[in-house]
Amino acid sequence: MASLLTLENIHKTFEAGTVNENHVLKGLDLEVEEGDFISVIGGNGAGKSTLMNILAGNLSVDEGDLLLAGKSIKNLSVRKRAKYIARVFQDPKMGTASRLTIEENMAIALRRGQKRGLGWGVKEKERIQFQEALKELNIGLENRLKVDTQYLSGGQRQALTLVMAALVKPKLLLLDEHTAALDPKTSQMVMDLTQKIVEHHQLTTFMITHDMNHAIEYGNRLIMLYQGKIVVDVKGEEKKHLTVEDLMHLFQKNSGQSLVSDELVLG
């Protein structure tokens, strides 16, 4: 399968040339195939959030290149990347506008990356499309299109944000610890919906998580970052049979660390 995303020799340093200089990403290389669902784990300071922000366009690279479908995107703004890249944040409130209705939020998502004129109201054919998309969630939101999103629970808002992200099939879906703010039961519900949506729409997905069990259970590939580099990259059959103990052993073997603590692995 062809590579959809290529990261070539990515470097990122903060406060360069000062006593606080922090070289977060150190020559990171990665090939991502179309349809990959990649879980990304690593401790605090490993580079997970920096990588996510570089992919989304919130941060620029100091060195290296990012190729999406063979074309460099490193100079594209966040707005221009929004045509190709969708992102779901940790905070359920960040993915939706609280004072707009469910259908209004979905209408905005449908026009992601487009210039917004005055006529952005919801059309009837779009309303039908939204209802069909929400029915897949099986949590009743298709009957609440006129409800402001501020009245939804955190789990409902994250589920809605996932549907919105998939409305216009993005080339890349970024999940930025999107269950971290939820209770365990709701987190599991959102993860199951995530897998359903990713598989149904065949979305190439990056998921940062602090839950090692989620990282192992979901997706076809797992990478672990440590000190700005990829130290573990497991996929396919090896990923299917991976255990926490296997992951810790791989980390020890590849990083040279003799001990893996929860803080080191999960951050």
Write out pLDDT tens, residues 8-40. Answer: 999 999 999 999 999 999 999 999 999 999 999
Please list, residue by residue across 2-29, b when 16 or more beta carbons sit within 10 angstroms of its beta carbon and e when fewer do: eebbbbbebebeeeeeeeeeeebbeebe
- pTM flag (> 0.85): yes
Cβ-proximal residues to 162 (8 Å cutoff; 6+ apart), any chain: 88, 178, 190, 193, 194, 197
Residue 181 pLDDT greater than 80, yes or no: yes
Residue 212 identity: M
| pLDDT tens-digit series, residues 192-246 | 999 999 999 999 999 999 888 999 999 999 999 999 999 999 999 999 999 988 9
For the chain, give the percent of residues with pLDDT over 70: 93
The dihedral region occupied by 133, where left means phi > 0, alpha psi between -120 and 50, and beta the remainder, is alpha
State the pLDDT at residue 69: 93
| pLDDT tens-digit series, residues 69-117 | 999 999 999 989 988 999 999 998 998 999 999 999 999 998 876 665 5
Q: How many residues are listed for the chain in this entry?
A: 267
For residues 181 and 148, is the Cβ–Cβ distance under 8 A?
no
Please give the backbone phi and psi of residue 262, each rounded to the nearest 5 degrees, phi first.
-60, -40
Question: For residue 257, what pLDDT band results from cuts at 50, 70 and 90?
Answer: confident
- Give residue limits of the domains in the chain: 3-266
* Burial (CB count within 10 angstroms: exposed 0-12, middle 13-18, buried 19+), residue 261: exposed
Residue 118 pLDDT greater than 80, yes or no: no
How does strand 37-42 pair with strand 229-235? unpaired
CATH topology (fold) of 3-266: Rossmann fold (3.40.50)
